[in-house]
Chains A and B, each alone.
Chain A
Amino acid sequence: MSSASSTSEFDLECSHITKRFGAFTAVNDISFQIPKGSFFSILGPSGCGKTTLLRMMAGFLEPDEGDLTIKGRSMVGVPPNKRPVNMVFQHLALFPMMTVEENIAYGLKRQGIPKADIPAKVKDALERISLPDAGPKRVDQLSGGQKQRIAIARCLVLEPTVLLLDEPLGALDLKLREHMKVELKQLQHQFDTTFIYITHDQSEALVMSDQVAVMNNGEFEQVGTPQDLYYSPETAFVAGFVGDSNRWRGKISDMSNGTVSVQTDDGLKLTATAVGDTLAKGQNVDIFVRPESVALSRTADALSGMENILSGKVENLLFNGANSRVMVSDPSSGDKITVTLPQTGEFNDLQKGQDLHLGWRINQAKCFEELGVSDEELAELA
């Protein structure tokens, strides 16, 4: 308890947490701290161990090694009903045999709150989620978004230190999901509670979070703000998993001052910024370039200042309003490069088969130690 004062700004801390199922290590030596009142997401493909980690925080699983503290108090061996955390389940788990009111009152009753005070607290909670009249309804009379809010209110009415959310938006349709992202963020501000949100959907994590941890194979690849992850990924996995990227695989032919020249497997020569200090000449690497950081031009001259220049034919136009993209194939290597179409009107009349020039700066291309998975596998994970 001597460290309690120094760690009080953290609501939840994990140190060297490990969980094994037989020979399989689901969570491998993870340490992190979550500051009070923040929205922390754990982003990873299915099977990366994020659910196991969350269930350890909730108390449904005990870590094999390491310690988990909430507000400086160790939670190892503390059962779920004695922890100051509550969980919003993937399928919400609203009790179907109870009304909305009874669902929200369930936890209050268990906390031993005087019976006379419960209706007022339930009413207050329903008003805060803007469903003041939902109280007497049955759970199956609610829409998806309403259920979502009730499930969150059912937890927040207990004033937990940390609210855990296990991909609760997964079952909603796209439009409602977009809406709920904003609403969840608002609820978090309104109740001023620490949220820990696990998801495999990068846009959910990026939009809502203050901090995101990208998890893979039971370990955290990188923890940072959504901007950090997007603009300065530290590993090839993060670069490939968060956001879209063009990827080339190749060998380092030359390097100096953090800049590498890479001979790709398809025969291109590219220059890029080296990330990490383990890169060496002759090593197999991956280069990632985001579709929106590639400049497009109809003439070669306009791109003359750029370190990487390619030219090719329009292979395909993927029109999607503001998110339209063009796929350009490079005739020499056969590579297909996806580029976001600038919305300046200049390329509105672009046709399949036309010639285009592409270019990008050195700092837009990031070179990582080779990742052990193929493009297809990565796409499947994301």
Chain B
Amino acid sequence: MRYPSVLFFYLSTLSYFVTFVLYLLHVVFHPHPRPLSPPRERGDGGEGATLGIIAASASWGLSNIAWGVWATRALLASVILSGAGVIARAIELGNASQWVKVLLLPLSTTYETLTFFSWLIPLIYFVMERKFQIKQVGVFVTGAAFVMLSVAASPSLAPNAPTGVPPSLQSYWLTIHVLFMVLGIAFFTSGFGATLVYLWRRYEKKLFLLFGALLAAIALTIFFVIPLFATLQPAKMLAAVALFGLLCAGFGGLLLFVHREQRPVAWEFLENIEEMVYRCNALGFPFYAIGGFVFGGIWAEQAWSRYWGWDPKETAMLVAALVYAVYLHARLTWGARDAGWRGGLVAWLSVLGYLAVLYAWIGINYFVSSLHSFV
């Protein structure tokens, strides 16, 4: 095979699917996340403590198999496989680009970005899983990696032969700026996965209702509010604004209603997951913000002659960073004192922030042409 990276990515697609199934089995047979456990001493647990629950019983039964342990091992194998793919792709891209100037991370096209993420996001999650011992998040993370690799393998996206990078990307700032951005997004993704687990435990089946309502609100915004606004007739624009207000109020009302129904006792068991959400977001934020504002600014000054030009992608990134900044403030002020805040507004801010990140990362490419139109 001429391009070994393609082979590695195919193998890791399969491997992520297997990992996804293992995590799913873990969640089905060991549904309860570890409650705020009695504190352990660091370093005295050995393999058993760091890798989760070891099946104690010898009896045969699906629920007695330590699915989580196997899932983690499969995750590690998948990460190694896709890591090999990323390294191979970096070498191929370097060859295609005549090794211009500097080592380039394979991040110059959508295909490369997706495959890179399918390595980085599970890697970051693996580290977080070891630290927090919460395996439920793995379902989301490996599922996302599988979907990303599948999308990358679609014929429209996959230029299997790497092409040389355009002149505007030939800079070591590509490596620094984009690496920081994707690290930020990878941490946010783990945080979002943990938020999903948290919200699921918090609302159980009502979460479907809430997410359904949220998705419906977003779909209505995209298919009705924006086109109505874009007609640019004052009456219809007003109607669009009113409709948008109604949608926001409707979702907020539903949220408040569900909140009132909830027994507050259950939250206390979820502190560990909530801590993981906070840590992921607090780790991701400086990468995202410094990578975007500072390193992006320095590079933009070198390539485009200005630090900040209100380019759509820059602006969308600013919006996402602002939402996460509000999340961190809310979490550190009200959330630190009150479990109700942590479970309520703060968790939903984390969801909103991740949606904004997705918009800045992928969504924006479909709305406006931008200087950042390579990825």
Q: Do A and B bind each other?
A: no
